[in-house]
Structure 1
Amino acid sequence: MTTMKQIAEMAGVSVSTVSLVINKRDKGRVNPGLARRVRKTADALGYHPNPLARSLRTSRTRILGFISEEIATTPYAGNIIRGAQDAASATGYMMLTVNTDGTSKKDEEQEVATLKRYGVDGFLYAKMYNRLAQVPDCLQDQPLVLVDATDESGSVPSISPDEFHIGYDATRHLIEAGCERIAYIGAAETLLAQGIRLQGYRAALEESGRTFVQDLVANVGFNQPALDQVGALFDSQHPDGFFCFNDARAWHVYEAAARRGLTVGRDISVVGVDNHRLVAETISPRLTTIELPHYEIGYWSVCKLVSMITGEPVPEDRLPDTIAPLPSMDAPWPVRIRCTLLSKDSVVPHNS
């Protein structure tokens, strides 16, 4: 293992100078040219800092705690964890993940206590889907970022999808394709995203000079009752465009269209939300959909947390290229990340 002493001898400087450079405390204290020489020598020798020694010096473990509400067992939302892990690795941190079912306060407190015993430097508190959330008392005095949710008190940094623009962008895409009667196939459940996406749908219609028609909205659940509701909307309103709350509900539109001899992508146009692999890779024609930025949410959350712990911003020029652009680390919270529409085959311009 390469030591600071070996770096100092090869670079022709003192061990204290090497320490300042390696620990990024050289600004204003070490000549920039000399600092570059030390870093180049350290790289050539394959030097890696000892995390245990660093934690003893700084009282930091460089470990983050990720508290997941069923995200670890959810296939597509699991990208939040993947993004968080990538960001932790890029910033020199490890991440410990615990999973809760979101129903037992006592179990959640026990998981937090376990992470605290490991001496984690800060916490990520993640929800399975976007909602207003209360931060547990056991996390109130910790560096914390709320992930895929919004803090009810507004006092904790948080990030979630821009639900309004999901509805707005999907509806605008259908309008620009020439659709005249655009339906919204929403969710029957009481969800934060449901109401806000509906607002975006209405705003896009009204911006284009169209009147919102309540009869073009069907809030559906699952299985046969949902298919019956969508079919009834087909028969009574004859829409030519559909914005669906998620990809699963878009399947009901495909099925109802097929039963009426209509072809998606020719007779009607459909936009979903999620880019869920099971749906996106199964139904034909391929579904135009808005991808939820789970990876980006996880990545941004860790970068924000690390900046809170260190008191220094994560350099934005080192952030990765992602499908949805990452918001600024200085963005006022709650942070909303605008999602990306993936144009496929289920929307075809009427004049094509």
Structure 2
Amino acid sequence: MVTMKQIAQRTGVSVSTVSLVMNHRDEGRVKPEVAARVRATAKAMGYVVNPMASSLRTNRTHILGFVSEEVATTPYAGGIIRGAQDAASRFGYVMITVSVDGQDEDAEIAALKRYGTDGFLYAKMSNCITRVPASLEREPLVLVDATDPDNRFPSVEPNEFRIGYDATCRLVDAGCERIAYIGCTEPMLAQDGRLAGYRAALEETGAGYDPSLVVDVLDNGPALRAVSALFDRARPDGFFCFNDARAWYVYECAARRGLTVGRDLSVVGVDNHRVLAETLDPRLTTVELPHYEMGYWAVCRLVAGIEDRPLDGIDMPRTTAAMPPLDAPSPARIHCALIEKESVRTA
């Protein structure tokens, strides 16, 4: 069996340097070219990390627990898990995911602890303020798409205000003069933040905020009728929608009136939902929620805490939305990317 000592002799570095590289602790400690040479040599020699031996040396299992509510069963929010897994693999960790929908949350967390889990991610489906279970309060922990009311734990979420602000500014730039907001009737941080961003953009650009252009809806027939009444009452030429699903009501109402989205009126949604945003014709300009980025950032922050790494010593990959620094105050907010398609007319 190939040993670290043999790799060190072959590459002309110390055993401790090889250990740092093989245990994914080389960032900021080992020159990148040296780390690359060590990894290449280890691969060529057929070196395989012994997880049991590593666990005994470090008193760590290199296992992370991902505790979620709905996230694991929601198709487009699965990006959170994918981002978290990619980051975990980068640092040599594996991740066990459990969904607590309809389950005994404490029992699921206890099961993860029996594996010797080094740290936890606690994720919610929709950005919210949540109480951390008592069974996790003393564990290394990062909240994903959620914030502790007492701000005791690192957390990451979308920048809801900038979602509304950027989407509305895009409509203003397109020449829209009467911009409506199709919001959500449920009490949510996302609704409050996006409405505030919408209002701020209108006031700052001189378009002016008109509460009669705001309609909050839930779904199905009542939602369609409320949007239809808005069309006839206010005749908006631009629509910012709380999510892509609500944009469908705008498309439907426009079609019934012989109006063409992208020509007679402009629409911006939120989610970049793979079905809705790509199926609607014309394709929907939308703000993409940073699911992947939240998952990736959360694991980087968690591993930094577990391994006592410097928060400024971990390079982040380029993603659709730029990730905040790991030492950003909680909640760390990600500025979401606006994905241009064809539903906003050319000014």
Q: Normalising by structure 1, what TM-score?
A: 0.91
1:271 aligns with 2:268: yes
Q: How many residues align?
A: 343
Q: In 2, distance between residues paired with 1:192 and 1:262?
A: 33
Tell me the alpha carbon deviations over residues 290-316 of structure 1, each in whole angstroms, 9 at most, x when there is no partner: 000000000000000000000113676
Q: Compared with structure 1, are the counterparts of its residues 330 and 230 closer, same or farther at alpha carbon in structure 2 (3 Å cutoff)?
A: same
1:215 aligned residue (193, 196, 212): 212
Deviation at 1:349, TM superposition (A): 2.4
Cα separation, partners in 2 of 1:36 and 1:174, compared to 1, 3 Å: closer
Deviates more, 1:92-101 or 1:42-51: 42-51
State how far apart, in whole Å, the 1-side matches of 2:323 and 2:30 are. Answer: 34
137, 152, 158: which one aligns with 1:161: 158
Partner of 1:243: 240
How far, CA to CA, are the matches of 2:56 and 2:45 in structure 1?
24
AA of the residue aligned to 1:78: G
Worse overlay, 315-324 or 57-66: 315-324
Question: For residues 27-42 of structure 1, what are the structure 2 equivalents within 5 Å?
Answer: 41-42=41-42
Give the secondary structure class of the aligned counterpart of 1:326: coil
**Aligned AA (1:82):** R
| Equivalent in the alignment of 2:20 | 23
Residues 30-179 of structure 1 aligned to structure 2 (within 5 Å): 41-101=41-101, 107-179=104-176
- SS of match in other structure, 2:187: coil
**Which residue of 323, 326, 329 maps to 2:326?**
329
- Residue number among 243, 258, 261 corresponding to 1:261 in the alignment: 258
Distance 1:244 1:32 in 2: 45
Structure 1: how far apart are the matches of 2:208 and 2:233? 18
Tell whether the 8 Å contact from 1:296 to 1:326 is kept in structure 2 after alignment. Answer: yes
Q: CA deviation at 1:38?
A: 5.9
Q: Could you list the runs of 5+ residues in structure 1 that have no partner in the other structure?
A: none
1:330 Cα deviation after fit = 1.2
Q: Which amino acid aligns with 2:287?
A: I
The answer for the alignment partner of 2:192 in structure 1 is: 195
Q: Percent identity?
A: 64
C-alpha distance in 1 between matches for 2:70 and 2:246: 22
CA RMSD across the alignment: 2.5
Aligned AA (1:50): N
Cα 1:76–1:121, aligned 2, differ >3 Å: closer, same or farther? same
Q: Does 1:348 align with 2:345?
A: yes
TM-score, normalised via structure 2 length: 0.92
Query: Aligned-pair distance for 1:44?
Result: 3.6
Rate the CA distance shift 1:314–1:205 in 2: closer, same or farther, 3 A.
same
Q: Secondary structure at the match of 2:87?
A: helix
Q: 1:261 to 1:36 in 2, by over 3 A?
A: closer
Q: Name the residue aligned to 2:302.
A: 305
CA deviation digits over 1:235-259, x for unaligned, max 9? 0001000000000000000000111
Q: Structure 2: 5+ residue runs without aligned partners?
A: none
CA distance in 2, matches of 1:100, 1:226: 31
Distance (Å, rounded) in 2 between the aligned partners of 1:12 and 1:72: 46
In structure 1, the partner of 2:225 is 228
Aligned letter for 1:54? S
Q: Are residues 34 and 290 of structure 1, via their aligned partners in 2, closer, same or farther at CA, if it must alter by over 3 Å? A: closer
